[in-house]
Amino acid sequence: MDATTQPATLEVGGMTCDDCALHVTDALYSAGAQDVAVTWRTGEARFTWPEGLAEGDVRAAVEAAGYRPGKLRLLTGALPRETGGGHYDYDLVVIGAGSAAFAAAIKATEAGYRVALVEHGTLGGTCVNVGCVPSKALLRAGELAWTTGHHPFAGLSTASGPVNVRALVAQKDALVEELRQKKYADLVADYGFAVIHGHGRFSGPEVLEVDGRSIRARVYLVATGASPAAPPIPGLTEAGYLTSTTALEVTEVPKRLVVIGANAIGLELGQFFVHVGAEVTFVDVAERIAPFEEPEVSAGLAAVLESQGATIHTGAQVLGVKRGENHVTVSMQVGEHPFDLVADEVLVATGRRPNTEGLGLEVAGVELDGRGAMVVGNDLRSANPRIYGAGDVTGAPQFVYVSAYEGALAVDNALLGLERTTDFTGLPRVTFTSPQVASAGLTEAQAVAAGYVVETSVLPLSAVPRALVNHDTAGLVKLVAEAGTGRLLGASILAEGAGDVIQTAVLAIRHGITTAELAATFHPYLTMAEGIKLAAQTFTRDVDKLSCCAA
């Protein structure tokens, strides 16, 4: 690309298929654009803007083709696309093959860049292989098994026999294989980027070695994710333990299970084992389970777990683990009181460690923090301007949708010159227990620490008609608002379907909506989403004194 041209993007509305993309492509070429690449899924056209091209001609051509031209950007900082040869093997090399890696590869390939993924393991990363997909499949099965024997409805006879966990695991494995093929492996051919199988390690600031092969890329993206980590508990390694990965492979239910760590993963998997017949004890060093959630949510979920037969020890220090002939002993202390727990298995769910070991990031000039995570700026660039990081490997919030978001954003900055920064305003999180826990924005404590003067409302599910007709009122909705303006700052929900309901709060927080506006918004009756409206109404009125659907 010479000095008289520059890359550009144009938002295009009205595209619904590959044919639409072809029509827009032809229109842009007819107007004088060069190197056109159009993606109907994202509603975006990327092309080279030659000297003398008029914006009006571009817009007129797109309109004549039957589509709606939108925002135009000239990308002065973008890297020129190369069509082959040259000094570099690829424009972008991504180390990893999970959600962040594929989001980056797809976006860069669509923009016309030459891309390769380097992966020494299985395509798909954590989510589809050993995380979101397999765990939620088993959690749903466990929930159904429990509900069958513990429903609240009169006149309805049901029974729940022993759970064949081996069959559940086999079904889960089949689902994982299907989605790995459809959502990852098949996309490699669909988009045409390369996959290089092997272990990647930087030998310097600009060169990646993959099993003896030297590869040079114009920019690199490290997206290697994270793996389960265990605390240094005496005897734990020798005794052996389950992790969030190996727990999904268990084919026989342990009679007694100790879960060390009572945050999202520990709570989800621990409750699954409760639901399929295990005696489960949760242990956490924090003073309450789900310690990053609102205290009301922690208390409400603890009450549910205990009602289902679980035992909870918080503020607990694990002193050691020892395996006997047919059991495991977990020695612990709560306050001044030491005691032992005897179990068949121990599940450790105390966090995940970024996968940076063995990548040679130090010799590449990339800084790591104390946990081994890549240090990157809000633009995802490391100390080496040629190397970016995305997803769990950077210490970002460990959600698959964050990883995909960051993978795409890294391409925007590394290749397309958009100079974007990460924005996690209203970021949701969901713990898939039963009932679910879902949160977005700031908790009350976080908002106060950030300097806000706040007002809160806590609505018990007994005030939500959907919960009443379900005969299940264990839960609540809590809203945190800025005093004076009423702007919603945070929301937390403990309820069936909370992960779906929270999206209302995500949008409200993201766009500065107030509790008064939420209260005046239509919410369908006899849905759990109505709890958001009712919680918003409680800032100004007593909802117990309202009729059904009262505005």
CA distance 53 to 254: 70
E strand residue ranges, 22-168: 34-39, 44-50, 68-74, 90-95, 115-119
80 in Cβ contact with 1 (< 8 Å):
yes
Q: Which residues contact 549 (CB under 8 A, 6 or more apart)?
A: 525
Active site residue 374: no
The predicted pLDDT at position 1 comes to: 42
Element (H, E) at 193: none
Structure tokens at 464: 């939500």
Same fold, 90-125+172-227+353-414 and 236-349: yes
Structure tokens at 4: 């008289």
Q: How many CA within 13 A on the CB side of residue 225? A: 27
Q: Which residues contact 318 (CB under 8 A, 6 or more apart)?
A: 231, 233, 260, 283, 285, 330, 331, 332
The structure tokens 């654009």 sit at 33
453 in Cβ contact with 482 (< 8 Å):
yes
* The domain made up of 90-125+172-227+353-414 is a member of CATH 3.50.50.60: yes
Phi first, then psi: give them for residue 255, nearest 5 degrees.
-65, -40
Domain boundaries, the chain: 5-74, 90-125+172-227+353-414, 236-349, 428-545
364 in Cβ contact with 205 (< 8 Å):
yes
CA distance 392 to 281: 29
Active site residue 220: no
Q: What is the pTM of this model?
A: 0.88
The predicted pLDDT at position 3 comes to: 47
Q: Which of 88, 132, 220, 452 is catalytic?
A: 132
110 in Cβ contact with 37 (< 8 Å):
yes
CA distance 464 to 535: 9
Q: Which of 90, 113, 127, 220 is catalytic?
A: 127
Active site residue 184: no
Active site residue 1: no
The predicted pLDDT at position 550 comes to: 67
Q: Which of 90, 405, 452, 548 is catalytic?
A: 548
105 in Cβ contact with 193 (< 8 Å):
yes
CA distance 8 to 19: 22
Active site residue 90: no
The structure tokens 């991504």 sit at 94
CATH of 236-349, one of 3.50.50.60, 3.30.465.10, 3.40.50.10420, 3.40.50.920: 3.50.50.60
Which homologous superfamily is 428-545 in? FAD/NAD-linked reductase, C-terminal dimerisation domain (3.30.390.30)
Phi first, then psi: give them for residue 343, nearest 5 degrees.
-145, 170
Phi first, then psi: give them for residue 30, nearest 5 degrees.
-65, -25
pLDDT in tens, the chain (551 residues): 444 677 888 999 999 998 999 999 999 999 999 989 898 877 889 888 998 999 999 999 999 999 999 999 887 677 776 544 458 999 999 999 999 999 999 999 998 899 999 999 999 999 999 999 999 999 999 999 999 999 999 999 998 889 999 999 999 999 999 999 999 999 999 999 999 999 999 999 999 999 999 999 999 999 999 999 999 999 999 999 999 999 999 999 999 999 999 999 999 999 999 999 999 999 999 999 999 999 999 999 999 999 999 999 999 999 999 999 999 999 999 999 999 999 999 999 999 999 999 999 999 999 999 999 999 999 999 999 999 999 999 989 999 999 999 999 999 999 998 889 999 999 999 999 999 999 999 999 999 999 999 999 999 999 999 999 999 999 999 999 999 999 999 999 999 999 999 999 999 999 999 999 999 999 999 999 999 999 999 999 988 877 877 67
The predicted pLDDT at position 94 comes to: 98
E strand residue ranges, 41-129: 44-50, 68-74, 90-95, 115-119
Burial profile 517-534: b = 16 or more Cβ within 10 angstroms, e = fewer: ebbeeebeeebbbbbbbb
- The architecture (CATH level 2) of 5-74 comes to 2-Layer Sandwich (3.30)
CA distance 57 to 35: 17
As beta bridge partners, residue 283 has 260, 313
